[in-house]
Amino acid sequence: MTSDAERDRPAGSYSSIGPIKEKNKEIKCNSQPFLKPTFAQRAERLMKKVSKILHSKRVDPTAPEPVDFTLDESKLILREIAQELDRIMQTRDLSLSTNVCEDGSSLEERQAFLLQLAQALPPQAHAPEMLHGQTAELSPCSNGLEENRGEACTPKPEEDKGLKKAIGDLSTLSWTLKGMEEDSVCLDTDVDEVVKEMFKLWKKGKLPNLLPVLDFVILSILQQEGQKLSIAKHWNRNQELFNSKADPQHAPDSVWKWITKTRAEVRLDPSTANPCLKISQDGRAVKMDNIVEIVYDPWKDFRRTKQRYDGWWCVLGREGFASGKHYWEVDVRGKTEWRVGVVRESAPRNGFKSLNEKTYHWTLKLQLGRLMAMTVPVTKLARCAPSVLGVFLDMEEGNVSFYDVGNRFHIYSFNVSFDLDEKIFPVFGTVETGRVMRILN
């Protein structure tokens, strides 16, 4: 029987005891089982929020900051990736998933890491993956604002296109790792040594966070078949990503060992030297000659040739490089002006044409105490001039990097598409008569 209280209850109200019959119909709760969002869904939500921030700043730079993705969300994404790395790697010493969320990295650093990681993944990690039998596709408006759903999509600037692509890259990364068998990855010996040393440095508080370690491991695992990770190039990239607002990190022993093990025997070639330069008999040192034109004229009987610098005060190394990795060091202590780097064999050497990357000269230059990379336009560097400059040339990777040898700091890198049919030569320049530039190798 129905009680008086139940008869008097207004139509459409609910009983705390159970369902109510209204007009002989039973009202039921239609609850669905909770499904945990996939990594792809979480990554897409994350990238939409990042896109919203950039869009807001682009439309109105003075607008207040939109709500960013939370610290917990960034931890969740990094933990999932780290768990898969721990599962597939044969090395158990790292325990990345245990430490990555308490590694001292800030939300801003994690944000930047996720975006940069997506951009740096090798081609096979970008390829469409089959998620539960369906191809992972992006909504045409997945990089737009939430309010724009249902409206016609409009072309976005390049940075938004990059974010849209990053959504797929981050999500497919997780599925790529999930598809790999447990203990199926054995890191290359050199990479394994670097990763373990970086992990130890982090535990000792000498590395700001674990993000550089994750970066090394992921890109090493996803390298194209038959290729090895360029440790020097990757360490330099890590410095740019994770130390842009801090002091440069001292290169670990394993990284420095990898760079310097490719030492080359570099000697100067007098036949390419400007006639005002004086080359030592052993071919290791150069300086501007002490010229008293009344007594000595360096241009007397001089014949102009394509191989000799007759404007700028430069000289090439004897041997050019067509392949491989090569490292050499130059003592420039006490000097106030110099130029050191590499040059393409066919680059112009006559007259005073600018010696920069446009004319195939990839060099650092010290002038009036200011250190510069000879890009177009010139890149002024906020580094003190080193006493000993290290030069690392990787022909296959297209990388020319410079180091402060005394501190093991990375100074600058050129990324170049070398023509492997043409040799690359070391180049040296100086205008000082009293201080010698000396090759130490």
In whole angstroms, what is the distance from residue 255 CA to residue 404 CA? 14
Angle between helices 107-120 and 71-88 (to 10 degrees): 50
Domain ranges of the chain: 39-248, 270-439
Is residue 120 predicted with pLDDT exceeding 60? yes
Q: Tell me the pLDDT tens digit for each residue of 54-66.
A: 444 334 444 444 3
393 pLDDT band, cuts 50/70/90, is: very high
User: How many residues make up the chain in this entry?
Assistant: 441
Tokens 């939109």 — which residue? 66
- CATH fold label, 270-439: Jelly Rolls (2.60.120)
Strand partners, 365: 339, 372
For 81-163, strand residue ranges (E) read 130-131, 134-135
Residue (of 280, 206, 302) closest to 246 by Cα position: 206
In the chain, pLDDT over 70 holds for what percent of residues?
A: 66
Residue 218 contacts residue 85 (beta carbons within 8 Å): yes
In the chain, pLDDT over 90 holds for what percent of residues?
A: 33
Q: Tell me the pLDDT tens digit for each residue of 340-360.
A: 999 999 999 988 889 999 999
For 237-358, strand residue ranges (E) read 277-279, 285-288, 314-316, 325-331, 338-344
Helix spans in 15-106 (H) = 39-59, 71-88, 96-99
**Full-model pTM:** 0.71
Is residue 90 predicted with pLDDT exceeding 60? yes
Least trusted range by pLDDT, from 91-100, 278-287, 297-306: 297-306
Tokens 């002989």 — which residue? 24
Is residue 331 predicted with pLDDT exceeding 60? yes
In whole angstroms, what is the distance from residue 428 CA to residue 350 CA? 15
Is residue 392 predicted with pLDDT exceeding 90? yes
Q: Which residues of 103-137 are buried (b: 16+ CB within 10 A; e: fewer)?
A: bebeeebbbbbbbbbbebbeeebbeebebeeeebe
Distance of CA 201 to the CA centre of its chain: 20
pLDDT of residue 168: 63
pLDDT of residue 303: 58
Q: Tell me the pLDDT tens digit for each residue of 180-232.
A: 888 888 888 898 999 999 999 888 888 888 888 888 888 888 776 567 778 98
pLDDT of residue 72: 61
